[in-house]
A and B are shown apart, each in its own frame.
Chain A
Amino acid sequence: MTRLLFFITLFFCFVNPLQADTASDFDAALEQLKQKNFALKSDAIKIIAVSGNPQARAVLDAMLNGGLFMRKKEKDLVFAQKQGSNYQLTAILTGEDLGQLKKRKMKKVGINNTLRSELRSALALLSLNNPDPNERLAAVNNMLGAIDTVSAATLRDSLENENDSSVQEVMRLGIALSDISSNDKKVRLQAISVLDGNLYPAAWNSLTHLMEKEQDQAIKDAARQALHSIDVKRQMSGIAETLFFGISLGSVLVLAAIGLAITFGVMGVINMAHGELIMLGAYTTYLVQVILPDSPGTALLLSIPLAFLVSGGVGVLIERGVIRHLYGRPLETLLATFGVSLILQQLVRVVISPQNVPVTNPEWMSGSIEINSVLSLTLNRLYIIAFCLLVFAALFFILKKTSLGLQVRAVAQNRAMARAMGVRSERVDALTFGLGSGIAGIAGVALSQLTNVGPNLGQSYTIDSFMVVVFGGVGNLWGTLVAGMTLGIANKIMEPWAGAVLAKILILVFIILFIQKRPRGLFPQKGRAAEG
């Protein structure tokens, strides 16, 4: 309601040429911004928005982004930009450099959610004539939430001068949203045809609203038809969305499990410290970011090879120091590596911190690609999916096309025969384990972008990884990929109606039943190794 009033006032102010004494209004409004009361600040924003002062935009913008401060001593408002531990100040009207000041000597002009959306709407109206079409698009999108006859009229005026087709489309939508409550049947019918199949939430809502009170049968039919086509589109988007969520969860599972597919799948070592190798990879990302605090993107790319080396190196140490002595004794290996996992966790707690550490997402990994109003794909997940496939392809290449891969497969299939052919099986064991561990480290880099990095990061992933590898069929890389994706998608299909907790339980029950039926997983390994 306040928003509606706001638009009305704004509109009248725009067309009212009597708005003369704006300069002093502007100053008075600035004065008012110093108050603690949010209602007073809200009034001030409205005055500033229509003042026509060249600095109006800058003031509102700074206020929205937390860059507007009051100096406690001088009691005046200034722009402030953080520089190191101090703030660089600029005068609002003159743009004069006012030097630097400590934060304690100033008070920020605080805003709340209501003010924030008012600021955005005010900035949107100021942006409707912006030369950049993207700015205009954002501005119109901002207006859609609270469309009424007045703002629709503004849009109608702007539409005539608009030449960008995507902005035009949103403007028409805005006008239709207002027209749908018109008294003229033709106008209503026209509005329905615009809203037909439009996925913007307000379109569906206003159509259902219309259905409830519409008397005219023809219009009712048209509205029903329009709603139906929106519903169909929504369902399609819903399916696509579930699939995307499933694939992205699946790719996380595959990433976590793929290292284990080598150490457990190919070598047969039950490595309970697998999750901690992932954790080490995540901590490597953190440390690289600490060294390069200003460029998180570069740090992230740099940490991929580094994490491979760190986790791979630790893996080789574990193999040489512990596992080597325990080949053929799975139970002891299990216990020993469990001990190693506890040691690694405690090491991180003592050396770095028992608390979670912050890992920042680079700019290009935040946000999402909007396919339509109800379907948007988050960028970080898209990158993880691509990254997962890349790692899988690289690993596949190593195992199938390089001589190391050949030796690994030879030792896995028949150790004695491979040794007879001159393969140094001990060295191959160490390298294979290092490779699997290194991949786990790379998975840690990816996970650091999705979840909390802390000493307990690895624990849950150890179990998940074993689940994926066993389900997919021990010793089969394709099996791991298919199993991870299947489990991810199944989980996401079940989650909406079963809840996150129950979905996980159901998946586990399913796997247990499946293993009863097919003990060797989805893709059982064939040949002599399988019998052995």
Chain B
Amino acid sequence: MLKSTIKRSMIAAGITASMLFTTAAAAEETIKVGILHSLSGTMAISETTLKDTMLMLIDEQNKKGGLLGKKLEAVVVDPASNWPLFAEKARELVQKEKVDAVFGCWTSVSRKSVLPVFEELNSLLFYPVQYEGEESSKNVFYTGAAPNQQAIPAVDYLMNDLGVKRWVLAGTDYVYPRTTNKILEAYLKAKGVAAEDIMINYTPFGHSDWQTIVADIKKFGAAGKKTAVVSTINGDANVPFYKELGNQGVSAEEIPVIAFSVGEEELSGIDTKPLVGHLAAWNYFMSVDAEVNDSFIEAWQAFTKDDKRVSNDPMEAHYIGFNMWVEAVKKAGTTEAGAVQDAIIGVTVPNLSGGFSAMMPNHHVTKPVLIGEIQDDGQFEIVWETSGLVAGDAWSDYLEGSKDIISDWRAPLSCGNYNVKTAKCSGQNME
């Protein structure tokens, strides 16, 4: 009895060993792509979708014959919404799994956490979420919106099309809203808006008692000038905020709220009645009228086996980023990071709104900017779009200290923060 058990376990060990061997052998023939999105914890709600998107894109690429004659292989890890763990998992992906590129991160703090890892190991990260800018790394490609691709056009729309004269900048108290509002405040003042026509308000994460703030907004808006709220309120605090607006009788026609973090995914599953008419600014909406979008949604719903599944802006960013990487690898003929970095600049791929996006020398992409109004079915009616593409600007032109800085990763400059006045490149990671 004992003997046979030993025998059996030996056989099992042998099989496992040989299996390990074959996977190792197979690994040499595949190109590995790392996916670094939280699958548990607070950010799982948003990031799981992006992991599925990447799996679908990789699957589709393999059906098209892979890349450089090899199959692509996805390596999924779970950094569990834990910022230091992001850095550990990134190191694991690059050093242990030897992936050739990583697609991942959502919050700015997670990106800041992995940045040193990618720079140290000289690997590539594609970051798909709108962010506050003021950063440009040789190893990171920012496929989401920079402030000038979301916040600034949104304010322009409100100012020019709706005639807004008074501004409430409301946000959650952390780095993205604070930096964005700093840029917006400087921008509004440059446009001649007086200081007393700007009201700035910060609330803690998950704030639920919006009575006073909504009453203040109402008072602020009753001064006879058209008023709008520019909201960088994050996550689920939005639901009680819009509810309170509805209850206190503030309608979107009187005081519209334009949000930068509310998309289709956030709206699915909540009662959108109090939100109808409020606005959001993105580079993509699921309701975009384009053939490429229709087929993307069809593929996505088939892949997730859910015909009610929505698509959103960060998904499109991954779509663009992944295709750019594929094109760059084809162009360079290798997946080696340095070669891809050089090759990817200038690569142009179709985006989902029917146009094309290009990778700029500052590692940001060109995109159209769309403004949508929330409808009662949780979708957006597109009410405005930029006439052309907007190139992402890493360093804001409206902030003291950043307006003289440019980023250009082409030789001979090869610098993420080159000060045109002092003609100096001040290292890679200037805050």
Contacts and interface: CB of A to CB of B under 8 A. Distances in A.
Interface of A: 38, 66, 108, 110-114, 116-117, 120, 145, 201-202, 204-206, 209, 241-242, 245, 248-249, 252, 354-358, 360-361, 366-368, 370, 374, 376, 378-381, 450-452, 454, 456, 460, 492, 495-496, 499-501, 504
Query: Which 8 residue pairs spanning A and B have beta carbons closest together?
Result: A205-B224, A201-B222, A451-B208, A110-B381, A378-B247, A117-B253, A112-B383, A245-B211
A343 to B, nearest CB: 16
Interface string B215-257: 1100100111000000000001001100110111100111010
Contacts of B222: 201, 204-205, 374
Q: Is the interface of B mostly helix, strand, loop or mixed?
A: loop
13 contacts: A112-B381, A112-B383, A113-B373, A201-B223, A205-B224, A361-B243, A374-B222, A378-B211, A378-B247, A379-B247, A381-B211, A450-B209, A496-B216
A376 B248 contact: yes
Contacts of B44: 354
Nearest to A206: B224
A205 B223 contact: yes
Contacts of B256: 113
B162 interface: yes
Nearest to A349: B40
A340 to B, nearest CB: 21
A248 B215 CA distance: 14
Contacts of B201: 499-500
A380 B202 contact: no
Contacts of A204: 222
Given A111-B381, A500-B203, A501-B173, A202 B215 contact: no
A358 B203 contact: no
A77 to B, nearest CB: 17
A113 B202 contact: no
A358 B201 CA distance: 27
A356 B213 CA distance: 23
Interface of B: 40, 42, 44-45, 162, 173, 201-204, 206-209, 211-213, 215-216, 219, 222-224, 236, 239-240, 243-244, 246-249, 252-254, 256, 269-271, 277, 373, 375-377, 381, 383
A79 to B, nearest CB: 16
Contact of A358 (B211, B212, B269): B269
Contacts of B236: 356, 452, 454
Contacts of B271: 358, 360
A452 B239 CA distance: 7
A454 to B, nearest CB: 7
A209 B225 CA distance: 12
A111 B383 CA distance: 9
B381 A245 contact: no
A27 B219 CA distance: 43
A500 B204 contact: yes
A108 B287 CA distance: 12
A113 B249 contact: no
Contact of A113 (B223, B244, B253): B253
A66 B207 contact: no
A305 B211 CA distance: 29
A501 B202 contact: yes
Contacts of B173: 501
Given A245-B215, A376-B249, A378-B247, A500 B202 contact: yes
A451 B45 contact: no
Nearest to B210: A500
Contacts of A367: 247, 249
A249 B209 contact: yes
Nearest to B214: A378
Nearest to B212: A495
A113 B252 CA distance: 7
Given A206-B224, A374-B222, A378-B248, 19 more contacts: A66-B375, A110-B381, A112-B277, A113-B277, A209-B224, A248-B211, A354-B40, A366-B246, A367-B247, A367-B249, A368-B248, A374-B219, A376-B248, A451-B240, A454-B236, A495-B213, A500-B203, A500-B212, A501-B202
Contacts of B207: 500
Contact of A500 (B42, B213, B269, B381): B213
Nearest to A460: B206
A390 B213 CA distance: 28
Contact of B204 (A111, A117, A356, A501): A501
A38 B212 contact: no
A394 B48 CA distance: 46
Contacts of A356: 236, 239
Nearest to B289: A36
Nearest to A375: B215
A450 B207 CA distance: 11
Contacts of A202: 224
B252 A116 contact: yes
A110 B376 CA distance: 11
A370 B249 CA distance: 10
A368 B274 CA distance: 14
A202 to B, nearest CB: 7
A206 B270 CA distance: 40
A252 B224 contact: no
B163 to A, nearest CB: 8
A419 to B, nearest CB: 44
B172 to A, nearest CB: 10
Nearest to A36: B289
Nearest to B208: A451
Contacts of B373: 112-113
Contacts of B239: 356, 452
Contacts of B204: 500-501, 504
A447 B70 CA distance: 55
A110 B240 contact: no
A94 to B, nearest CB: 27
A366 B271 CA distance: 13
B322 to A, nearest CB: 26
Contacts of A206: 224
Contacts of B203: 500-501
A114 B271 CA distance: 23
A38 B383 CA distance: 8
A206 B239 CA distance: 35
A360 to B, nearest CB: 6
Q: Which of B173, B206, B216 is the most central at the interface, judged by chain A CB atoms within 10 Å of its CB?
A: B206
A201 B219 CA distance: 9
Given A66-B376, A116-B277, A205-B224, A452 B247 contact: no
Contact of B45 (A110, A145, A355): A355
Nearest to A145: B254
Contacts of A374: 219, 222
Contacts of A492: 211-212
Contacts of A248: 211
Contacts of A379: 247
B206 A116 contact: no
